[in-house]
Amino acid sequence: MDASKKREEAERAAKEGYAFLDTLSREKALGSFALAAGLFADTGAGKRQAEVLYMMGSIYAHMNRGDEALETFSRLVDLLPGTGETGRLAMSLNNKGLLLARKKRFPEALRCFEEALVIFQRDGEKARVAEQWGNIGSVYRDLEQLESALEGYNMALPLYRELGSSEGVADQYTNIAYIHVMKQDYAEALKWYREALPLYRDAGSGKKLSFTVQNIERLEAGSRGAPS
């Protein structure tokens, strides 16, 4: 098959993959996207290859197929530099970092979030910058480096305020509260949880509001276990 025919076949397979996604036929979509990715690679269409690989990684993640999602986003992180697709590279780093964190591979996850942060800062993506600082804070929390965790959350907090995101601000309040629980500073933790309550109400975040109320009640009752 010559290059032009391969490119036509790749585009057809990609279109088919999106059609399968529309009908929630995820396995069939994966098959079509995999075919398209291989053909795009053969014809040197790196950006189109990256596009369908990103879709594959997202599908794997939604299907809780973490190993395959991690492998796919790792391929993207290797493929995308030099293509000019900085946004997709940063999101691939973010997704790879989240998957690594779930596997408790925290130093690797931290590197991904820090690399994504630099790209989002350069591209002026304030919401994504805030997200990365929150991710960085959570990795340090899981590493039990509590002051570094607080630094991450406190970097995210003013950005969410500037963005007018009540839920984003409340998330940082509860993250900070959790760190104070880990430090056994329960009065400070209660203060931060209480600050989050009206913001979760304003944002209509019922589930998070409920969890925060439960954590407050546990601390007020003298239960010093880790919040939910």
Q: pLDDT tens-digit profile of 168-217?
A: 999 999 999 999 999 999 999 999 999 999 999 999 999 999 999 999 99
* 225 pLDDT higher than 60: no
Q: Give the pLDDT mean for 1-28.
A: 91
Q: How far apart are CA 50 and CA 54, in angstroms?
A: 6
Reported confidence tier of residue 93, pLDDT bands at 50, 70, 90: very high
User: Given the structure tokens 């939910």, which residue do they identify?
Assistant: 228
Give 224's DSSP letter: -
CB 109 within 8 Å of CB 97: yes
pLDDT for 217: 95
Token pair recorded at residue 216: 């407050």
User: Given the structure tokens 């919401």, which residue do they identify?
Assistant: 127
CB 132 within 8 Å of CB 116: yes
pLDDT for 82: 83
Token pair recorded at residue 70: 């991690």
Report which of 185, 172, 196, 176 is spatially closest to residue 219, judged by C-alpha positions. 185
pLDDT for 1: 64
User: Given the structure tokens 């925290």, which residue do they identify?
Assistant: 106
Report which of 63, 37, 65, 70 is spatially closest to residue 51, judged by C-alpha positions. 37
Report which of 13, 87, 9, 93 is spatially closest to residue 47, judged by C-alpha positions. 87
22-73 pLDDT, tens digit per residue, is 888 999 999 999 999 999 999 999 999 999 999 999 999 999 999 999 999 9
pTM here is 0.92
CB 83 within 8 Å of CB 46: yes
Report which of 158, 168, 154, 176 is spatially closest to residue 199, judged by C-alpha positions. 168
**Distance between start and end Cα atoms, the chain:** 57
Q: Which residues contact 151 (CB under 8 A, 6 or more apart)?
A: 137, 140
Give 225's DSSP letter: S
* 227 pLDDT higher than 60: no
* 224 pLDDT higher than 70: no
pLDDT for 75: 96
